[in-house]
Amino acid sequence: MKLIIASNNAHKMREIQEILGAEFPDMVTLKQAGLTIDVVEDGDTFQANAIKKAEEVRLASGFPAALADDSGLIVDALGGAPGVYSARYAGEGHNDADNNAKLMRDMAGVPTEQRTCRFASAVALAREGKETICVMGYAEGILLTESHGTNGFGYDPYFFYPPFGKSFAELSAEEKNSVSHRKHALEALLTILRQEKE
């Protein structure tokens, strides 16, 4: 079955291919399919945004299946913020540095034991004639008070991952992909797809 990925991110594409390649050997990005579509992510949950993106891209592309994800950072001391607003936490038109600066201001003075947080990823698979599947994956961590590392993007330099004793931005792409929230979500999706065949 041909699958379109609602993204043009090469790293994301590689991660998806590694996990779902056996189920979907024929996989393309939006760009490879010659499609330019900007889905408005106005849902109030990661799941709502991922489902909307997957379903709209499937309809627009005419492909039998489309995969989309929505992810972000959940900080317990902020009641779950930035959450679905992770990419635009500092406001529209702001970048990663602005978002991180706002997060550090909002978390100023919060002690280490109260800086628990997690990256969350919702992955949705829309398929012709079938109900859309949506699964969640998480990576648990602690929010640092200053940035560490230069790899990754977004909140990675401030996200300390205890099992490795490093921030996500200090990990290699391979290390991060092996434990990432998206990997956990994709593996949950793979389990469901395999169960469908039984």
Active site residues: 70
Query: Side chain identity at 186, as an amino acid letter?
Result: L
Region label for 180, one of left (φ > 0), alpha (ψ between -120 and 50) or beta (otherwise): beta
Q: Quote the CA–CA distance of 93 and 27 in Å, as a whole number.
A: 31
| DSSP assigned state of 43 | -
The token duo for 79 is 């009641």
**52 phi and psi angles, rounded to 5 deg:** -60, -45
CA dihedral over 1, 138, 164, 167, signed as positive or negative = positive
